[in-house]
Amino acid sequence: MAKGNCPTPHNGAQYGEIAKTVIMAGDPLRAKLMAERYLENPKLVNQVRNMFAYTGTYKGKEITVMGHGMGIPSIGIYTYELYNFYDVDTIIRVGSCGARQNYVRLGDIVIALGSCTESNYADQFNLQGNFAPIADFYLARKAVDACEKFGYRYHVGNVYSADVFYSEDPRKANWTKMGVLADEMEAPALYLNAARAGKKALVICTVSDHILTGEATTAEQRQNSFTNMMDVAFDII
């Protein structure tokens, strides 16, 4: 499939119904929330597999919000199609993460400048060595500026992106020793797809639980604090 060959097996939107900038969340209901909270005149453009996508305007700019599902394979499919078939320029993921450092607190924002991973997603590119999946610097810098403006606590650095949620591997504790801020499950595929397509990407996460202390946010806290990362995402577009 080539640019403009839409819809795809996973996205029912026609070419031109997806904006150049897309803000994504793992949970499609969070995409629905963003459409209702931020967009003017949102239009539902995809509901294949209930992976909702809405296109509307935010401060006069056309924006699409969309779900991407859980894990590297899922976000890999959706973002590949957005970049390569729908000609999207920028994708920002907003999601949850588990803190790996004591100074990172519940509700803090983590801006994923880079992503360490156990995934073999990069193998398809036939690279001689290990590619470092990283964010677009200018998007990351704008996200820092937005956090400062809003007064949100934030951290910038590496995240660890796992293929396995329920893991019995004790070596995962070593990522903490390497200064990794938090765990999530999608960043490498997004960053690799962006690099291959020559496009822009950023992952912004909210800390929902703490791997070291066992703390976890309540449903009410997640509902209230998770909107902070959305404020940041929409501020930098």
* Interatomic CA distance for residues 226 and 224, integer angstroms: 6
Transcribe 139-182 into DSSP letters.
Answer: HHHHHHHHHHHHT--EEEEEEEE-S-SS---GGGGHHHHTT--E
CB 159 within 8 A of CB 206: no
CB 59 within 8 A of CB 18: no
Of 108, 209, 231, 235, the active-site residue reads 209
Tell which residue, 113, 89, 78, 109, has the closest CA to residue 190. Answer: 78
Per the document, the length of the chain is 237
- Tokens representing residue 57 in the block: 């305007």
Question: Would you call 209 a catalytic residue per the annotation?
Answer: yes
Give catalytic residues, as residue numbers: 209
